[in-house]
Chains A and B, each alone.
Chain A
Amino acid sequence: MSEVSTPGATATPAASAALRAVPRSGWHVATVAAARRETPNASRLELEVDGWPGNAAGQHLDVRLTAPDGYTATRSYSIASSGPGTRVTLAVDKLPDGEVSPYLVDEVRAGDMLEVHGPLGAFFVWAPVAETGDARPVQLIAGGSGVVPLFAMAQAHGDADDPVPFRLLYSARTPDDVYFAGELQRLVGASAPFRLDLVYTRRAPEGWRAPAARITRETLEAAVFPAAEQPRVYVCGSTGFVERVADWLVELGHDPRSIRTERYGGT
């Protein structure tokens, strides 16, 4: 297993401080505690990760699979859980011509062991106002499986009973494709301020207030905190979704420096 590399001895004091601020990532052995269908096309995996240092809401990890002949395939997945402890939740969407995601969705079962590297990423993360002092409202915008790291943030917000107003605008194909549907409904009813706006692109539930359609600039504007409230915005989804939404947000007057994006691409 490869060792975690360390930065060179040339790091300045500023570098050292920045490096200390992020939890140390490393390789770990994860045992699958539970695997179940999340949606018709996705699975939820509960992993027990040996030596996991905990992770911030919004971080990701790498999963490495090894075939009998030594061939390996590594992919990055957002983490749906956060906080201390060694339990890590993933929700994996099966890509049509994928190599790793079909294995994780169709093949993996409780008791299997996987190699994971993480926690990774210190930018697309959220922490309660008690830790950061940042009281601006938070707008989450998810396209499909892009909800995974945003759900981690919403759940962390609820768990911390954080007073900062939170909203999630979540675009899903059909009601069956909504990840964490039960958990999201519970967060709506919890004491931390959280609003959920669902948009269905292919099929809406019976009697839904709007026909199925993709998010437009107008529906976006109607559903998110206005730019005047200076929200922090996190957008995650496919490249096309994120590009469209981020461009509209900037056109609507949101400060680009307050918009953090995570674009899902590749295989």
Chain B
Amino acid sequence: MSFITRGFSGRSRERDDRLPPGQTLVHDFPVLSAGPTPEVDTAEWEFTIRTESAVHRWNWDEFLALQIDEVDTDIHCVTHWSKLGTSWRGVSLDTLFEQVETEQEYVMAHSYGGYTTNVPLDELLDGKAWVAFEFDGQALEPEHGGPARLLVPHLYFWKSAKWVRGLVMMDQDEPGFWEQNGYHLHGDPWKEERYW
């Protein structure tokens, strides 16, 4: 039941099939976080995956020694901006899960600073997600989630947890921080799963 807004013509059309519904192209990189930016020293940094039976750990040097992927991808923020063709380097979740045995199908990502977000394991494997530590050829800046952030580009960008420090496997899906604060449990930009 949309209707035409009197007097609105809009900007020149940047029609692009890569743009999900309701999104607008930006060329800068907006920052959206719920609190202060944590400063995380890579000497103290650790990434863990906790399952029903074990905790897998990587320190910064061990993490950088893993296979590193170059990722060129589009990113879509729930606040209606999208960036196309962003380039990242990071470690694929496939690589991180190679030695992880788990029957559990749901994941809660945890961040330095206390942020959490939930993602089903299926959405993280098969080349769909990374722990990224470089953006545009530079070390990832703290305000954009450095030293390392989750990168799940096929979901709205709040799922790409900044300052990520670990994943906890869960038996069932539970809402993380923004999901408890009005955002969609799943967050597919192509289905406009913004809010519930």
Contacts and interface: CB of A to CB of B under 8 A. Distances in A.
Interface of A: 1-2, 4-8, 10-12, 14-15, 18-19, 21-22, 25, 62, 64-68, 71-76, 99, 103, 107-108, 112-115, 117, 120-124, 239, 243, 246-247, 249-250, 256-257, 259-261, 263, 265-267
A130 to B, nearest CB: 22
A112 B2 contact: no
B174 A249 contact: no
Contact of A73 (B24, B143, B179): B24
A2 B193 CA distance: 10
B31 A65 contact: no
Interface in B70-95: 77, 79-81
Given A15-B174, A112-B7, A263 B33 contact: yes
A122 B181 CA distance: 5
Per DSSP, chain A at the interface is mixed
B196 A250 contact: no
A122 B182 contact: yes
A19 B181 contact: no
Contacts of B33: 261, 263
Contacts of A124: 34
A261 B8 contact: no
Contacts of A263: 30-33
B173 A15 contact: yes
Contacts of A22: 181-182
A261 to B, nearest CB: 6
A256 B35 contact: yes
B31 A265 contact: yes
Contacts of A260: 34-35
Contact of B143 (A64, A72, A239): A239
B97 interface: no
B7 A7 contact: no
A161 to B, nearest CB: 28
Interface stretch (B41-49, B55-63, B121-129, B184-192): B184-192
A261 B35 contact: yes
A19 B5 contact: no
Given A4-B196, A256-B35, A68 B181 contact: no
A257 B34 CA distance: 10
Contacts of B191: 5
Interface string B157-191: 00000000000000011110111111011100001
A112 B5 CA distance: 8
B10 A261 contact: no
B34 A19 contact: no
A72 B22 contact: yes
A250 B3 contact: no
A168 B86 CA distance: 38
Q: Shortest 10 CB-CB distances between A and B: which pairs? A: A265-B30, A246-B36, A18-B180, A122-B181, A65-B5, A266-B30, A123-B181, A67-B10, A65-B8, A266-B81
B5 A267 contact: no
A267 B174 contact: no
A183 B13 CA distance: 40
B36 A247 contact: yes
B65 interface: no
Contacts of B10: 65, 67, 71, 73, 99
A66 B184 contact: no
A265 B79 CA distance: 10
Interface string B1-19: 1111111111101000000
12 contacts: A7-B184, A18-B180, A66-B2, A67-B4, A74-B24, A113-B3, A115-B2, A122-B181, A123-B178, A123-B181, A239-B143, A265-B28
